[in-house]
């Protein structure tokens, strides 16, 4: 992990800390206390739990071991809000987080205020040696909270999608004012050249530049790439509707065996949250944070599983890029990324020479390097400034509740 919180930058870091923590409040502002409690499936978590867990991270990894005299807000929170850190003790079962009606939402906000004040004192008062030692963990905590900010949105979207009254999280205008990304902006900025060509050869992959990176983005290393082409933009809604209209969800030719089993067992006929017209000639709609809206045909198709992305690519006479092809192409041809996470063909594994972050944070990434697929890019739910071309997101291949799509690749002729 590389830290941007070097000695002498304390005020700048404290300002960033305050901004990130304030953004979590902005994201949850439209939610009622009842909304904060919702857990719609085991993979999701209540918004209240996200707010508490990101606070627990700072309390447990920074304040308790490094801030002399720090008073723990509530000893029970160590059990309630640990996520998956075995080294830090037992924890409440993940599928039962929605059962935690206590502590109340007001108590969680008081917890956040307590920890925020303690972090401000620590940043102000820590000696230079302590600051140099702890600042990487502080920075990791900020990046960790930004990851959970995206999860707050994807989790509440899934929960709202199950509500027959079709709740609206925020209007499109409110969202654009606060978060800045809309389908219209993406549709208006599609490049003219449809494919990006790379000649391949020895290519450097991974993070090496100054600034933060997670341990799974390192070390930078060399891979061999054959000549290939990468689509200049992700697949659009219009293009995926053509796959649907051509019987793509009914034709096993395009699907991996596990993917076809999901289609049959789960009844997939379109991406998550998409709704077919009720009458001939009607328009497709999709449920999103702004409620039920007509699909924007020129926006990037989203809420696809890896299996759907792979099937679409095969149907289109192409394939998914490896994560190395994706990174090399985006680095050579800077493109606007960040509307959808983009599935790659790469399993989530360690880079050669991978070294986990020291201490309890060693569990952050490495132990999940099995049965997951790498996604690249970032989505319209990703906080501004959080993603970068070397960022490696990862999810199981059947995941559809994340804002994920695809970009086509093909071997160069």
pLDDT tens digits for range 48-92 = 999 999 999 999 999 999 999 999 999 999 999 999 999 999 999
Q: Tell me, what's the pLDDT at 209?
A: 85
How many other C-beta atoms lie within 10 A of the C-beta of residue 355?
Answer: 13
| Tokens found for residue 247 | 């019987």
The H or E element that residue 100 is part of is none
Integer CA distances (angstroms), 96 to 37, 40, 81, 154, 396, in order: 11, 11, 12, 18, 21
Q: Tell me, what's the pLDDT at 4?
A: 44
CB of 387 within 8 A of CB of 377? Answer: yes
Q: Using alpha carbons, select from 47, 232, 230, 236 the residue that is nearest to residue 155.
A: 47
Q: What is the pLDDT of residues 264-274, one digit of tens each?
A: 999 999 999 99
Question: What's phi and psi for 345, nearest 5 deg?
Answer: -90, 5
How far apart are alpha carbons 85 and 360 in whole angstroms? 7
Q: What is the pLDDT of residues 282-293, one digit of tens each?
A: 999 999 999 999
Does the predicted model carry a pTM greater than 0.85? Answer: yes
The region, left, alpha or beta by phi > 0 then psi within -120 to 50, assigned to residue 359 is left
Burial class (CB in 10 A: 0-12, 13-18, 19+), 215: buried
CB of 7 within 8 A of CB of 132? Answer: yes
Q: Using alpha carbons, select from 179, 163, 164 the residue that is nearest to residue 38.
A: 163
The H or E element that residue 410 is part of is strand 409-411
Q: Tell me, what's the pLDDT at 26?
A: 97
The H or E element that residue 181 is part of is none
Q: At what angle do helices 105-125 and 128-161 cross, to 10 degrees?
A: 160
148 DSSP β-pair partners: none
Burial class (CB in 10 A: 0-12, 13-18, 19+), 374: buried
CB of 345 within 8 A of CB of 321? Answer: yes
| Mean pLDDT per 10-residue section of the chain, whose length is 413 residues | 56 96 98 98 98 98 97 98 97 98 98 98 96 96 98 98 97 85 52 86 95 97 98 97 98 98 98 95 95 97 98 98 97 86 98 95 96 97 95 98 98 90
Tokens 């093909």, residue located = 410
How far apart are alpha carbons 183 and 297 in whole angstroms? 9
The H or E element that residue 202 is part of is strand 201-205
- Preceding peptide of 375 cis, ω within 30°: no
Q: Tell me, what's the pLDDT at 187?
A: 52
Q: What is the pLDDT of residues 347-376, one digit of tens each?
A: 999 999 999 999 999 999 999 999 999 999
Tokens 């070397």, residue located = 390
Q: What is the three-class DSSP state of 290?
A: coil
Kindly state the DSSP code that residue 264 receives in the 8-state scheme.
H
How far apart are alpha carbons 164 and 55 in whole angstroms? 33
- Preceding peptide of 280 cis, ω within 30°: no
Q: What is the layout of strands, in order, in the sheet containing 285-288?
A: 274-275, 285-288, 291-294
The H or E element that residue 196 is part of is strand 195-198
Q: Tell me, what's the pLDDT at 273?
A: 98
How far apart are alpha carbons 195 and 229 in whole angstroms? 6
């Amino acid at each position: 992990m590389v830290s941007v919180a070097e000695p002498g930058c304390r005020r700048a870091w404290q300002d960033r800390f305050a901004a990130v923590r304030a953004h979590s409040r902005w994201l949850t502002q439209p939610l009622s206390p009842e909304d904060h409690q919702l857990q719609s499936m085991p993979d999701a978590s209540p918004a209240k739990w996200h707010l508490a867990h990101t606070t627990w991270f700072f309390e447990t990894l920074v304040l308790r071991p490094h801030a002399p005299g720090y008073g723990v807000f509530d000893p029970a929170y160590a059990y309630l809000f640990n996520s998956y850190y075995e080294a830090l003790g037992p924890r409440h079962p993940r599928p039962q987080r929605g059962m935690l009606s206590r502590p109340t939402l007001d108590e969680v906000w008081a917890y956040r205020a307590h920890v925020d004040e303690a972090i401000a004192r620590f940043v102000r008062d820590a000696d230079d040696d302590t600051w140099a030692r702890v600042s990487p963990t502080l920075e990791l905590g900020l990046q960790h909270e930004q990851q959970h900010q995206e999860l707050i949105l994807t989790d509440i979207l899934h929960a709202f999608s199950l509500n027959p009254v079709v709740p609206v999280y925020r209007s499109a205008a409110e969202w654009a004012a606060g978060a800045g990304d809309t389908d219209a902006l993406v549709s208006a900025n599609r490049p003219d050249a449809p494919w990006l060509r790379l000649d391949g050869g020895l290519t450097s992959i991974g993070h090496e530049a100054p600034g933060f990176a997670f341990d799974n983005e390192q070390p930078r290393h060399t891979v061999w790439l054959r000549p290939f082409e990468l689509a200049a933009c992700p697949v659009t809604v219009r293009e995926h509707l053509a796959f649907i209209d051509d019987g793509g969800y009914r034709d096993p030719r395009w699907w991996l065996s596990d993917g076809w089993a999901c289609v049959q067992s789960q009844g997939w006929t379109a991406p998550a949250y998409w709704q077919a017209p009720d009458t001939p000639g009607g328009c497709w709609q999709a449920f999103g944070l702004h409620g039920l809206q007509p699909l924007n045909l020129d926006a990037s198709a989203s809420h696809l599983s890896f299996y759907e992305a792979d099937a679409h690519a095969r149907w289109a006479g192409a394939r998914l890029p490896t994560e190395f092809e994706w990174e090399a192409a985006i680095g050579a041809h800077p493109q606007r990324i960040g509307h959808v996470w983009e599935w790659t063909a790469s399993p989530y594994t360690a880079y050669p020479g991978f070294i986990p972050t020291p201490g309890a944070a060693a569990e952050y990434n490495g132990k999940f390097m099995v049965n997951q697929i790498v996604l690249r890019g970032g989505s319209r739910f990703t906080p501004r400034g959080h993603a970068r071309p070397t960022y490696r997101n990862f999810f199981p291949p059947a995941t559809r509740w994340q804002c994920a799509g695809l970009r086509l690749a093909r071997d160069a002729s």
